[in-house]
Amino acid sequence: MPKRKLLTDSGIQPKQPKIEIRLPPEIWQKIFLNLPLKDLIVARLTCHRWRDAVGSSPGLRDKFWLKFPHDRNITMINRNYKPPGTVPASNVMFQLDNYSKIGSIAAWWPQVASTVTCLVICGCEFPVDVLGHAPNLKSLHLISARFGRTGRVNFKLINLRRLSLKKSRPGPLARLITRLEELEFAIVDEEDGEIDEIVGLIQSAKSSLKELVLDVPQGCLRKLSLLTELNLKKVKLRDSYGYCYGFFEAIVQFVEAHPAIEELSLFNPLVSL
């Protein structure tokens, strides 16, 4: 029988030390910025250092969108709603139907909202506190949304720069904005005081407002022509109401009232300026 070869300690190869690359978070963040979203999600799950690197980078948080409710079969957001684990994200959408109310979400929303810079609220009635928990909010889009009963408000949206109102009214926003630069809105019911609400909102933002995107009747333009000290630079007008001679007259009056306007655009296939 052949003799068995005995292994001695000298024949055992020593284990190679595990090499761990420790780079500063800033370096990892620069690397991760080049990853597509699906790979970024995998990287975030790899270890706690990578997870923290992703969560602490505004540029990486901008890649993430969170949507509530997370399941289309869920039709209510109230104190019983528990979202799944979330990533620190800059962008959030609430989407319900028929002005369903957003109830108490204080158990989880403040933590999520702390990194939010863009918020879209669609088809909901929501408490103003939803905005109060988002101190870094820069862009707000309300689509068929409305504010619930508003009591005392003790915060300002000091970072909000862009506001879009589509089939939505401004509610208490005139009291909350401080440095709004861009406003987009469409008048839904000119007989229901909506024009006055919009005019009041623009009046409150007149020192900072630079751009308007409007879908309004000529009566609204005429009221906006009466505002003073606006420093608008760019105005875009859309054509849901149909342009007519009186409308163009209102446009001329509006532009003459605000000579700082540098660019005027009319969205009408029959008109080219």
**Are residues 155 and 58 part of one domain?**
no
**Are residues 85 and 165 part of one domain?**
yes
DSSP 11: G
| Mean confidence (pLDDT) of the chain | 87
pLDDT of res. 107: 92
Name the pLDDT band for 30 (thresholds 50, 70, 90): very high
For the stretch 153-187, pLDDT in tens is 899 999 999 999 999 999 999 999 999 999 999 88
Q: pTM of the full predicted structure?
A: 0.85
Least confident of 2-11, 228-237, 243-252: 2-11
**Are residues 217 and 250 part of one domain?**
yes
The arithmetic mean of pLDDT across residues 4-25, rounded, is: 61
- Residue 233 contacts residue 262 (beta carbons within 8 Å): yes
Query: Rounded CA gap, 210 and 179, in Å?
Result: 10
pLDDT of res. 272: 44
pLDDT of res. 269: 43
Is the alpha carbon torsion for 93, 96, 99, 102 positive or negative? negative
pLDDT of residue 8 exceeding 90, the answer is no
pLDDT of res. 73: 87
Name the pLDDT band for 151 (thresholds 50, 70, 90): confident
**Are residues 127 and 235 part of one domain?**
no
In a domain, 186, yes or no: no
* Tokens describing residue 208: 């900072």
For the stretch 120-142, pLDDT in tens is 999 999 999 999 999 999 999 99
Q: Which residue has the higher pLDDT, 247 or 143?
A: 143
Range of the domain at 268: 206-273
Count: domains in the chain: 3
SS3 state at 194: helix
**Are residues 170 and 88 part of one domain?**
yes
